[in-house]
Amino acid sequence: MNAADLKAIDVHVHIEHTGNANSADAAAEKYFGASGAPRERNALADYYRSRNMACVVFTVDERLTGRPMVPNDEIIQFAQDNADIAIPFASIDPNRGPEAIREAKRLVKAGARGLKLHPPLQQFFPNDPIAYPLYEVFAEAKLPVLFHTGHSGIGTGMPGGGGIRQKYGNPMHVDDVAVDFPDLKIILAHPSFPWQDEAISVCLHKPTVYIDLSGWSPKYFSATLIQYANSLLKNKVLFGSDYPLLTPDRWMADFEKIAIKDEVRPLIMKENAVKLFGIL
């Protein structure tokens, strides 16, 4: 991967099964709208390559929604086959206990470049000690951890929200993780509605915490988020789409219309991620 050749780095891309959708998939499509994004892996790679973009790719290890998980090994293999544009993150449910730790160590050796966690789907608070041995593996390997924060588009509109408890997405719980693992790079995924101010505070206060802007069209970004992205957090905010639910094409079209300073746009789109991931 050559950073100079890239237009942007999308830090939030899901690789998903291409089979029949279940009720959670249908609810997500109703919430986000039909993106038309290809989900087949070769087509996904072509999509990003044709736009001179790199992408962080992952699955989600969860059992709450019934959505099938793409194996982590397939994520890593996809990235190895498309090393010019793909960066693989593993996803491991902390509730799996000692098995999760063994799997984490194996996947780091196999080529995982970070960890993706979704507390509302995996049903844990980020500061629960059950997850700490998992953080230790990635902290020791000097690899980042990306946490879903805020509202969950998955489950929105379903009876009982599909059983998804949004309390697990409060970014303030990640503040404890940043204290207890001061060298661990952490990404707060998504504008953290309804806890946007909390996310900004954590990111501002803890030098190792970043925010990705995935999962929301930029036209819905709060004025406070835009203010801090333009100023005190301009080196800590990252472009992310939430592909395939939200495509880079749609995200960037809306991003052009919001009041981000010209000198800040390249930082968000690529340069901050280049530094975070150590891409040359």
pLDDT of residue 96: 95
pLDDT single digits (tens) 138-190 = 999 999 999 999 999 999 999 999 999 999 999 999 999 999 999 999 999 99
Task: Give the end-to-end CA distance of the chain in Å, rounded to a whole number.
Answer: 8
Q: Percent of the chain beyond pLDDT 90?
A: 89
pLDDT of residue 178: 98
What single letter denotes the amino acid at residue 279? I
Q: Which residues contact residue 209 at a Cβ distance below 8 angstroms, ignoring those fewer than 6 apart?
A: 174, 178, 186, 187, 188, 202, 203, 236
Domains defined along the chain, listed by start:
3-277 (3.20.20.140)
**Beta strands, E only, 112-232:** 115-117, 145-148, 186-189, 209-212
What is the DSSP code (8-state) at residue 3? G
* 3-class DSSP assignment, residue 136: helix
pLDDT category at 1 given cuts 50, 70, 90 is confident
Cα separation of 131 and 91, whole Å?
Answer: 13
pLDDT over threshold 90, residue 67: no
What angle in degrees, to the nearest 10, is found between the helix axes of 172-180 and 196-205?
Answer: 20
- pTM to 2 decimals? 0.95
pLDDT over threshold 80, residue 262: yes
Closest alpha carbon to 196 in 240, 254, 157, 237 = 237
pLDDT category at 104 given cuts 50, 70, 90 is very high
pLDDT of residue 36: 78
Mean pLDDT over all residues of the chain? 95
Question: Contact 245/28 with Cβ under 8 angstroms?
Answer: yes
pLDDT category at 130 given cuts 50, 70, 90 is very high
Q: How many residues does the chain have?
A: 280
Residue where the block lists tokens 């901050």: 272
* 3-class DSSP assignment, residue 31: helix
Closest alpha carbon to 79 in 68, 67, 90, 95 = 90
Closest alpha carbon to 63 in 91, 39, 87, 26 = 91
* 3-class DSSP assignment, residue 34: coil
pLDDT single digits (tens) 12-49 = 999 998 766 788 878 777 788 776 788 899 999 999 99
**Beta strands, E only, the chain:** 8-14, 53-58, 86-88, 90-91, 115-117, 145-148, 186-189, 209-212, 237-238
pLDDT of residue 28: 76
The mean pLDDT of 115-128, rounded to a whole number, is 98
Number of Cβ within 10 Å of residue 16's Cβ equals 19
What single letter denotes the amino acid at residue 141? A
